Amino acid sequence: MNIRTPRGVALACASLVTLLGTGMSMIVFWAYDVAAPPQAVALGALGLFALSIAVIYSAIERFIYQKVRIIYKNIHRFKSTKERARDVHMGEDVMEKVRLDVMDWATEKIQEISLLKEQDTFRQEFIGNLAHELKTPVFNIQGYILTLLEGALEDPEHNRKFLMKAAKNVDRMAGLIDDLDVITKIEGGSLDLNLSVFDLGHLVREVMDQLEQKAKRAGISVVFVDDGPRKIEVKGDAPKIEQVITNLITNSLRYGKEVGGTTQVRCYDMEEQVLVEVADDGIGMSEEHLPRIFERFYRVDKSRSRNAGGSGLGLAIVKHIIEAHDQSISVRSTLGRGSTFSFTLSKR
Ligand SMILES: Nc1ncnc2c1ncn2[C@@H]1O[C@H](COP(=O)(O)OP(=O)(O)OP(=O)(O)O)[C@@H](O)[C@H]1O
Ligand SMILES: [Mg+2]
């Protein structure tokens, strides 16, 4: 008889009641000199035991069921409480079971709370960063417009220049909003990949053509080190991979050598994958920044990238796109020597 279980307690109580009842009856019989046959005593004791066990058992069951139901109701917010309370068996250690269930519930809640706190900090940081990024172009635009209104509009030498500068800042804001749109879509899981097999070499050459003017202005030559006209077939979302390559090459121009730099794009044929490398001989980064450069809004040299118009979203988008393809991206860099970004793509 295990008195940790309600059944054990009911049995113990009923035995005690039977023992006391029978004992007292014997005393009464003895005091009044009643000769009770032993069979009658045994039958009475058995009846008393059956009656008391029925009463005590059902009382305990009702009591426990009610209490446990309240506990489950509170911790599971009315969710299948009846089933859970009915799950309680009289033959088991009810309190231990409830204690374990409450502990599970508490652990789950603690995890939920820390996740919510994390998300809240992330939201606050995100909004803070965003406000910070928008502040500069908005204040610039405000400044140019005010200057124009205060008289520069009539000054043929400056009016066009100020308007061009305002337009540049509007472009910067538009770019930032586009990037934000992409990043929120990816993170919200609503950006579906449109997979197809395409020629990566062709895509790289297209991106290089689009960036030709930018590269010229930056004084950097972009070269594609490929081995001939052979197709490099990969499976992926071509426009998104184009965005990845565009971001990486743009970074190599932005953070490249002041004059005479070179950016090399290479594709390595691996068994199941193709490894793409974008390597520059620019300003590079010191080791401590490398684990963080794929975070949103992270910039190594804030003043330099701000001058270059960067907001620190490019690599975050790149990483999201590559990971959405179940592939990976990494970076090697030496301060003053250059950086190499490499990512993989699946062949099929
Ligand atoms: N090729 C590179 N060489 C040196 N530093 C780089 C290179 N690429 C990126 N970085 C550093 O990593 C930071 C993050 O890059 P990321 O592309 O995310 O942002 P960004 O270029 O500043 O802005 P944008 O959102 O317009 O791309 C950059 O600000 C820069 O400091
Ligand atoms: Mg960038």
Are 213 and 252 in a shared domain?
yes
Distance 34 CA to ligand 1 centre (A): 105
Whether 283 lines ligand 1, by a CB cut-off of 6 Å, is yes
Alpha-carbon torsion angle 146, 152, 158, 164, nearest 10? 30
237 is a domain residue? yes
pLDDT tens digits, one per residue of 136-146: 899 999 999 99
The pLDDT value recorded for residue 77 is 64
Domain housing 78: 6-92
For the entire predicted model, the pTM comes to 0.71
Are 171 and 245 in a shared domain?
no
103 is a domain residue? no
Number of domains in the chain: 3
Domain end among 137, 161, 187:
187
> What are the Cα distances from residue 130, in Å, to 32, 140, 228?
97, 16, 45
The pLDDT value recorded for residue 78 is 47
Name which of 274, 272, 273, 279 is nearest 334 in CA terms.
Answer: 279
CATH of the domain at 334: 3.30.565.10
Interacting residues of 53 by C-beta distance below 8 A, sequence separation 6+: 10, 11, 14
Are 68 and 183 in a shared domain?
no
Are 169 and 272 in a shared domain?
no
CATH of the domain at 166: 1.10.287.130
The pLDDT value recorded for residue 86 is 61
Are 168 and 251 in a shared domain?
no
* Residue nearest to ligand 1 atom 23, measured at CA: 310
Whether 340 lines ligand 1, by a CB cut-off of 6 Å, is no
Output Rg (C-alpha) for the chain, integer angstroms: 38
Distance 126 CA to ligand 1 centre (A): 18
Are 143 and 36 in a shared domain?
no
Whether 141 lines ligand 1, by a CB cut-off of 6 Å, is no
In whole angstroms, give the CA distance from residue 169 to residue 156: 21
The ligand whose atoms approach the alpha carbon of 177 most closely is 1
Out of 132, 173, 255, mutate this one to test ligand 1's pocket (max ligand atoms within 8 Å of CB): namely: 255
Whether 255 lines ligand 1, by a CB cut-off of 6 Å, is yes
**CB-based contact 317:185 (threshold 8 Å):** no
102 is a domain residue? no
Residues of the chain predicted below pLDDT 50: 78, 80
Are 303 and 213 in a shared domain?
yes
DSSP character for 283? S
In whole angstroms, give the CA distance from residue 345 to residue 234: 6
Are 203 and 183 in a shared domain?
no
224 is a domain residue? yes
142 is a domain residue? yes
Are 141 and 83 in a shared domain?
no
Domain end among 136, 158, 187:
187
DSSP character for 197? E
The pLDDT value recorded for residue 303 is 60
Whether 5 lines ligand 1, by a CB cut-off of 6 Å, is no
Out of 257, 286, 300, mutate this one to test ligand 1's pocket (max ligand atoms within 8 Å of CB): namely: 300
In whole angstroms, give the CA distance from residue 333 to residue 290: 8
Are 86 and 130 in a shared domain?
no
1 is a domain residue? no
Q: What is the DSSP string of 154-178?
A: G-TTTHHHHHHHHHHHHHHHHHHHH
The pLDDT value recorded for residue 85 is 59
Are 215 and 324 in a shared domain?
yes
The pLDDT value recorded for residue 207 is 97
Query: Residue ranges of the alpha helices (H) in the chain?
Result: 6-31, 38-76, 81-86, 94-149, 159-187, 200-210, 212-218, 238-254, 302-307, 314-324
18 is a domain residue? yes
Out of 130, 132, 168, 254, mutate this one to test ligand 1's pocket (max ligand atoms within 8 Å of CB): namely: 254
Whether 313 lines ligand 1, by a CB cut-off of 6 Å, is yes
User: How many Cα atoms are found within 13 Å in the side-chain-facing hemisphere of 17?
Assistant: 19
In whole angstroms, give the CA distance from residue 6 to residue 195: 61
Give, in degrees to the nearest 5, the angle at Cα 54 between 52 and 55: 65
The pLDDT value recorded for residue 79 is 53
221 is a domain residue? yes
Are 250 and 334 in a shared domain?
yes
| Ramachandran category for residue 235: left, alpha or beta (phi over 0 → left; psi -120 to 50 → alpha) | beta
Domain end among 156, 187, 218:
187
